Structure 1
């Protein structure tokens, strides 16, 4: 079962004395905060965003009803999450990592290779870690010539493995 809420940031220290907090974004789309009305903080408390601005690498948020430093100090280190329905749309052929993890992986002949347990960020391209029974994990580069098809509704990825280097 996939998570229904997605983490998009972590609250840090208060910013000033009027109830604003610094948020370290954990998203490729920090501008998403401008489109959000409410977010989940910590274990599910819902807070309404009244103002969004940016300072250095932080998103500065002001929540309705939290108007001083002491009130927002209690939020420090809590995670901010959103419902899946509030995710930013991705271009065709792009996927969120949480959608990739858990996919069953098959080769072109239909043989099951395993299940994706993790996505590694290598700099040049991502690498899918495919867990296999009684074998070492298989590392599959996230390249168009290797990954032929991703079918999220079927929970399946089809890949063409490159021959071993001689």
Structure 2
């Protein structure tokens, strides 16, 4: 099966003719229409996206097969996924969140700390949530070059240089 990345979500209907309000998670919000078709999380439905206009908190769009306000309302909260092969190739120092989740986390001394269980961003940069048997609770590590000098996707691991007090 093709790997997919979440690129947006349907925030609700817009107007009365089946238009939806999309929240785009893309660096360039309007690029969401370039990665189609977009799929529901389980892959059971797919949509071609045609952007119509900017709207408050998102983008107005028409989705194939959605013709009424009721059909659009029923999709509210649905995450939309694009085939990873259709997304731009990232520079060597950038990663899709989905690629980081599940990686083993090793410290600079070669000790396994745990795994990346989530990637969060509250506005000040990405935070890796790391959980493992040797940790009292989940650790939130700022995802910076100083804290994470090595990411090896092929090996399924990263090296974390934990700041003082985070151990």
1:3-82 paired onto structure 2 within 5 Å: 4-41=3-40, 43=42, 44-82=44-82
* Unpaired stretches in structure 2, ≥5 consecutive residues: none
TM-score of the aligned structures, taking structure 1 as reference length: 0.78
The question of whether the paired residues in 2 share the 8 Å contact of 1:40 and 1:47 is answered with yes
Change in 2 beyond 3 A, CA 1:76/1:133: closer
1:85-100 paired onto structure 2 within 5 Å: 85-100=85-100
The question of whether the paired residues in 2 share the 8 Å contact of 1:33 and 1:52 is answered with no
How many residues are treated as equivalent by the alignment?
A: 163
Q: Could you tell me how far 1:6 is from its partner in structure 2?
A: 2.4
* Unpaired stretches in structure 1, ≥5 consecutive residues: none
Change in 2 beyond 3 A, CA 1:156/1:17: same
Match of 1:156? Answer: 157
The question of whether the paired residues in 2 share the 8 Å contact of 1:22 and 1:61 is answered with yes
Distance across 2 between alignment mates of 1:163 and 1:109: 15
Deviates more, 1:135-144 or 1:154-163: 135-144
Distance across 2 between alignment mates of 1:82 and 1:61: 16
The question of whether the paired residues in 1 share the 8 Å contact of 2:151 and 2:157 is answered with yes
Task: Determine which structure has more spread, i.e. the larger CA radius of gyration.
Answer: 1
Distance across 1 between alignment mates of 2:103 and 2:53: 37
Match of 2:110? Answer: 110
Match of 1:129? Answer: 129
The question of whether the paired residues in 2 share the 8 Å contact of 1:11 and 1:75 is answered with yes
The question of whether the paired residues in 1 share the 8 Å contact of 2:35 and 2:83 is answered with no
Distance across 1 between alignment mates of 2:161 and 2:36: 43
TM-score of the aligned structures, taking structure 2 as reference length: 0.78
